[in-house]
Structure 1
Amino acid sequence: MAADVKPRLIDDQLCVAVYNANKLFNHFYIETLKPYGLTFPQYIALCVLWEQDKLTVNEIGERVSLDSGTLTPLLRRLETNGWVKRTRSKVDERQVVVKLTAKAKSKRDEIYQHVTDCQDLLNYDDDTYVNSRSAMFDLSDRLKAVEGEDLSAK
């Protein structure tokens, strides 16, 4: 190790803070969505469809940064549980169009309210919420900017 390198202590490392927050946030959403039988990835797919119904699998994937190999089984489970209906596109049969069912439409406001009520337990004021979300988007953008770099050579 170079003499002029001062290692960061474990509690000072951003990666540890993000990792721990991610683990806790995942558990938070597992509990929050349990009454609806939804996983967090299923929830975010539904959120995309609640914003704009009748999207292709690829369009949903672009919005939530998931590939079709991950989305297909997720959407299959949503369909099995009555949340969405998947059909082949009439224009291009290679594409699968996903649309909300009556169940999904009728449960939207209830689920949004439940998630909001659970998030309120975090005691974020509006500014802290916006700043925290912005910091996460900034971190994501910075990580995307170095994607493809040979980090092992650094």
Structure 2
Amino acid sequence: MKPLKLPCYCGSIRQASRVVTQMYDKALKPSGVKITQFSILRLLSRFPGLTTGEMAEALVMDSTTLTRTLKIIHDSKWIASTPGEDKRERHWALTGEGQARLQEAVPLWKSAQKEFAEKMSGVDLDELTQSVFQLVQKSTEAVD
């Protein structure tokens, strides 16, 4: 069966999200990194020492999903944690192996970016990105 055009904004965006995730995961496969892991590695490379809560907020992820992904990355020895002032709090940073894995994945991610841009030719991707970000901002402001 072919994909259905859904009359629901949420359903349509979820369909698109799954397609884009699959495309990026396929491109990143040689590095062993999934796009969800890549986003976390990249975030920690720019902002080492973030807590789980800070990462969840920055990535707009629920903490349970983030915690599962952090465990996988931690078990792979790509990240390490140190305790915070509150013993339950953890600060995360890339390990040397995580930095190497990220460096291996970046060119593959750039290739996925290029593939996405080619598939979306005729669409103003800067405008699309800005529109999606506005939705994220408005949605997270409503929660605060």
The TM-score bracket by the shorter chain reads 0.7 to 0.9
Aligned residues: CA RMSD:
2.5
CA distance in 2, matches of 1:17, 1:69: 24
Structure 2 gap ranges (5+): none
- TM-score, normalised via structure 1 length: 0.73
Q: Aligned partners of 1:145, 1:128: CA distance in 2, in Å?
A: 26
- Residue 128 (structure 2) pairs with residue 132 (structure 1): yes
- The alpha carbon displacement at 1:116 in A equals 0.8
Task: Please tell me whether the aligned partners of residues 58 and 67 of structure 1 are also in contact (alpha carbons under 8 angstroms).
Answer: no
3-state SS in 1 of match to 2:14:
helix
Q: Which has the higher contact order (CA 8 A, sep 6+)?
A: 2
Q: Indicate the percent of aligned positions where both proteins have the same amino acid.
A: 22
Matched ranges for 1:106-121 at <5 A: 106-121=100-115
Tell which structure's C-alpha radius of gyration is larger.
1
Match of 2:13 in 1: 18
Give the partner amino acid of 2:102: R
| Contact 2:38-2:102 within 8 A present in 1 as well | no
Amino acid at match of 1:139: L
CA distance in 2, matches of 1:102, 1:116: 22
Partners of 1:67 and 1:99 lie apart in 2 by 20
Gapped regions of structure 1 (runs ≥ 5): 1-9, 148-154
Deviations 1:63-114 (A, max 9, x none): 111233222221111011121012322x221201111100122233332221
Whether 1:81 and 2:76 are equivalent positions in the alignment is: yes
Match of 1:65 in 2: 60
Could you say what secondary structure the match of 1:87 adopts?
strand
* Distance of aligned partners of 1:57 and 1:140 in 2 relative to their CA distance in 1, 3 Å threshold: closer
Distance 1:68-1:143 versus aligned 2 partners, 3 A rule: closer
TM-score by length of 2: 0.77
User: Residue 98 of structure 2 aligns with which residue?
Assistant: 104
Aligned length: 136
- The correspondence for 2:28, drawn from 15, 27, 33, is 33
Aligned partner of 2:67: which letter?
A: T
